[in-house]
Amino acid sequence: MTEPLNSDRRVADSAPTSWVDRAPVGWRPYLRLARYDRPVGFWLLALPCWIGLTAARVETGLGWTDLYWAILFGVGAVAMRGAGCTYNDIVDRDLDAQVARTADRPLAAGTVSLKAAWGFLIAQCLVGLLVLIQLPWPAILTGLAALALVAAYPFMKRITWWPQAWLGLTFNWGVPVAGAAALGTPFAPESLTLYAAMIAWTVGYDTVYACQDMEDDALVGVKSSARAMGDHIYRGVAICYAISLVLVLITAVIAGAGLFFALGFAAYTVHLFGQLRGFDPDDGEGCLKRFKANQVTGLILVGAFVLGGI
């Protein structure tokens, strides 16, 4: 039997405790729909914006306008990650009901109606739009171009074994947006190489995340890079991370980063590859822990580019 709308059900991979659990009961299904009980996604959407901004400012240094933009990027990441998750769950509600980890998501569980979810999606998109129009015109136009990527993403797992690559294209669009704001164009060489680096990073960490669902995905016919790599997941993720490291280093050279960048880059390398120590694709809890560690990885890279401008 479908549960009453606005009843609350915890989702399998949510944080053990969060402020969502203390929110009014009627709000909780919507907060869970937007993944407020899983904040790592907000970080992973905001970090490419901040990394892109700091990389673009290596030569000129950061100013007060950049701080304002960084705040906007953070608010926009919260709004648009929530909107993206809501849209993803609208499209995937029938699939989610067949996968153990996602069966308790509000739309799959019936705790939020489809009509209410669409209304919630529109409200979050309006917040994102209000944030976007505070940026320079090149950044506004670049940001709007991401809508096609977002709209197509939920369908990728049905048509390609590499939906994680499409997620990389989508989740890291903040790099060219930040480049457009700081440099006046999303096509600056340092923005393009950094965007490619972030895509490789995302394919790596989201493959680790997808390891949790391999059995259920096989049963319902959902494709993923984890399933595509099969017995070579460890090597595949390591290659993705290595590609990301090389492209980050190329970005630093193009941007003119100073010697202090090397300190941050060394920390970034150690933390990123440290995730592979003891990595077991069959250990769902361990995979989730390694996936979540990437918010620290991204923050280290932000710090590296800040140091690179000294």
**Can you spell out the DSSP letters for 200-241?**
HHHHHHHHHHHGGGHHHHHHHT---HHHHHGGGHHHHHHHHH
Q: Residue 65 to residues 72, 88, 183: CA-CA distances in angstroms? A: 11, 33, 13
CB-based contact 157:163 (threshold 8 Å): yes
- Is the pLDDT assigned to residue 302 strictly greater than 80? yes
Q: What is the structure's pLDDT at 260?
A: 96
For residues 52 and 15, what is the distance between their CA atoms, to the nearest angstrom?
28
Closest CA to 177 of 129, 149, 136, 148: 136
Q: How many CB atoms lie within 10 A of CB 236?
A: 18
For residues 217 and 238, what is the distance between their CA atoms, to the nearest angstrom?
23
When pLDDT is averaged across residues 303-310 and rounded to a whole number, the result is 95
More confident position, 101 or 285: 285
- Is the pLDDT assigned to residue 2 strictly greater than 90? no
Q: What is the structure's pLDDT at 1?
A: 38
When pLDDT is averaged across residues 233-250 and rounded to a whole number, the result is 98
CB-based contact 88:153 (threshold 8 Å): yes
For residues 270 and 298, what is the distance between their CA atoms, to the nearest angstrom?
12
Q: What is the pLDDT of residues 172-225, one digit of tens each?
A: 999 999 999 999 999 999 999 999 999 999 999 999 999 998 988 888 888 999
pLDDT class for 155, splitting at 50, 70, 90? very high
- Is the pLDDT assigned to residue 98 strictly greater than 90? no
- Is the pLDDT assigned to residue 16 strictly greater than 70? no
CA dihedral 133, 137, 138, 140 (to 10 degrees): 20
Q: Taking the CA atoms of the chain, what radius of gyration do you get in angstroms?
A: 19
More confident position, 145 or 16: 145
Q: What is the structure's pLDDT at 102?
A: 83
Q: Could you tell me what percent of the chain has a pLDDT over 70?
A: 96
Q: State phi, psi for 169 to the nearest 5 degrees.
A: -60, -40
Q: Which structure tokens are listed for 239? A: 């290659």
Q: What is the structure's pLDDT at 289?
A: 95
- Is the pLDDT assigned to residue 103 strictly greater than 90? no
- Is the pLDDT assigned to residue 3 strictly greater than 60? no
Chain position carrying tokens 């700081």: 182
Q: What is the pLDDT of residues 49-68, one digit of tens each?
A: 999 999 999 999 999 999 99
Q: Could you tell me what percent of the chain has a pLDDT over 90?
A: 82
Q: What is the structure's pLDDT at 223?
A: 93
Domains and CATH numbers, the chain: 19-308 (1.10.357.140)
Chain position carrying tokens 């402020």: 19
pLDDT class for 125, splitting at 50, 70, 90? very high
Q: What is the structure's pLDDT at 100?
A: 78
What is the sign of the dihedral through the CA atoms of 94, 100, 103 and 105? Answer: negative
Q: What is the pLDDT of residues 263-276, one digit of tens each?
A: 999 999 999 999 99
- Is the pLDDT assigned to residue 78 strictly greater than 70? yes
- Is the pLDDT assigned to residue 11 strictly greater than 80? no
When pLDDT is averaged across residues 89-118 and rounded to a whole number, the result is 89
Q: What is the structure's pLDDT at 5?
A: 53
For residues 180 and 36, what is the distance between their CA atoms, to the nearest angstrom?
29
Q: Give buried/exposed letters for 257-273 (b at 16+ CB in 10 A, else e).
A: beeebeebbebbbebbe
